[in-house]
Amino acid sequence: MTKWEPQDSTFYGVAFSALDSEIPGMRPTSIQIQSVMDAFGQQGWQFEHLEGRDVIRTAFEAYHTQVHLHAQAFPQLNALSPRATDVPHHQPV
């Protein structure tokens, strides 16, 4: 198996380093993630901000399901990518 090594990349003409979001203290939290954290805070919702990365995670209960939410910002593109997955609760038969 080959070890993955971060590379410098260009995406739609915007150059960025894959290491930018992986080294704590490299840059401040993006405005995209900060706005999500502010909105969650105003509602009293708990979340986990992955230090040094533009990523937050949370989980909540929905009708017989636990929903996991992962949001990642791409400030170079001025984009936020939310992703939710459900984990059904198994009920005995």
In the block, tokens 């900060």 appear at: 34
Residues in the chain, overall count: 93
pTM of the predicted model as reported, rounded to 2 decimal places: 0.61
User: What is the structure's pLDDT at 88?
Assistant: 74
pLDDT of 13: 44
Q: Where do the H-state alpha helices sit in the chain?
A: 31-43
For each of the chain's 93 residues, which pLDDT tens digit applies?
Answer: 444 444 444 444 444 444 444 554 566 889 999 999 999 999 999 999 998 899 999 998 888 888 999 999 999 999 999 999 988 766 555
Task: Extract the runs of DSSP E, i.e. beta strands, from 27-92.
Answer: 48-49, 55-62, 65-74, 79-88
